Homo-oligomer: A and B are copies of this chain.
Amino acid sequence: MNAQRLDPIVGAIEAGGTKFVCAIGSGPCELLLERTQFPTGDDPERMMQTVTSWFSAQEGKHGTMAGLGVASFGPVDLDEQSPTYGFITTTPKPGWRNADIVGPLRRAFSGLPIGFDTDVNGAALGEARWGTALGLEDFVYVTVGTGIGGGGMARGHLLHGLGHPEMGHMGLPRIPGDDFEGACPFHGRCWEGLCSGPAIAKRTGVSAEQLPHDHPAWELTIRYMAHALANLTYVLSPRRIIVGGSVRKGGQLGEEQFFARLRTAFREVLSGYISSPALSENGIAEFIVPPQLGDDAGVCGAIALAHSKLQAPTLHETKKPS
């Protein structure tokens, strides 16, 4: 960790579909001064009131925040020219469709710089600043949990465009003999429909956490994951793929086994097509990795998003080329 103690103290919100993690601080570990969480529920207005009250109370203890960062579940509107900038848009989550996230924060903390991005781009930025993507200009961060999302950087910039990536919805080859219809309400057997926590539960009747280590669904999940990471490699040519989220912990299989088998399956899918030391038998353990910030990647990412909105030249989102 190379966190700088001189970075200003900011507020951070990791807005997830299950819980909102709120924190105040300037970086990971001991730089995270306070941290709490609230169940997401189905009432965005009440949630945003809870959140703003908590931050107001923290300002009483720690002084005025220099900025706020929000790393949110999505889809979100990131177009600053749009009337719904800072909203969660078409989510199927009850109550949260077209929920305004940035608006209530702006009204409660007038004039405060607010950084807003997807949860995965936030986590990517956190890993770029303090974690395993330090010094990398081109990498992908994916989270595999209740849903699957992906973000990252290309040439030192967070991936944006028409909107933000929706990597979890890419289509994958069917593994021979697998007739599972998938769990995505939009696409059935997309990556999320095959490998998310709910997809594993739908396929097996057992949660990923409880699934026995020798259940054949692990092999299928890992092989579909390998196809997905191969597709990301073909499209983006990243220098590293960070895999976060609960499913990567591998349940009864364990995180180490999950990653070891994922790396092997990934190399099988590539079939030697891309020749690079990073993708060799020796290099692959540094290419497909868990987040270094662990479960703090999201909230640290929100801190980094806040910092990216401040004016100080050292705090820009873009790092110097490695």
Which of B137, B170, B234, B269 is within 8 Å of A234, CB to CB?
Answer: B170
Known A171-B230, A275-B89; contact A236-B269, beta-carbon cutoff 8 A: no
For window 121-171 of chain A, which residues contact chain B by CB distance below 8 Å?
Answer: 137-139, 150, 154-155, 157-171
- Is A162 a contact partner of B273 (Cβ separation < 8 A)? no
What's the nearest-Cβ distance from chain B to residue A184, in Å? Answer: 9
- Asked whether any CB of chain B lies closer than 8 Å to the CB of A173, the reply is yes
Chain B residues with CB under 8 A of A187 = 271, 273
Chain B residues with CB under 8 A of A167 = 234-235
* Assembly stoichiometry (copies): 2
Q: Name the prevailing secondary structure of the A interface residues.
A: loop
- Is A161 a contact partner of B154 (Cβ separation < 8 A)? yes
- Is A173 a contact partner of B189 (Cβ separation < 8 A)? yes
Chain B residues with CB under 8 A of A159 = 154-155, 236-237
In the complex formed, the residue of B with least CB distance to A164 is: B237
What's the nearest-Cβ distance from chain B to residue A96, in Å? Answer: 15
- Is B276 a contact partner of A150 (Cβ separation < 8 A)? no
Known A187-B273, A237-B159, A274-B163; contact A172-B171, beta-carbon cutoff 8 A: yes
Chain A residues near B (Cβ < 8 Å): 75, 89-90, 137-139, 150, 154-155, 157-174, 186-187, 189, 227, 230-239, 269, 271-276, 278-279
Q: List 28 A-B contacts (CB under 8 A).
A: A137-B161, A139-B161, A154-B155, A154-B159, A155-B155, A155-B158, A157-B157, A161-B237, A161-B239, A162-B237, A162-B238, A162-B239, A162-B274, A163-B276, A164-B237, A165-B234, A165-B237, A166-B274, A168-B234, A170-B234, A170-B235, A171-B227, A171-B230, A171-B269, A172-B172, A173-B174, A187-B273, A236-B236
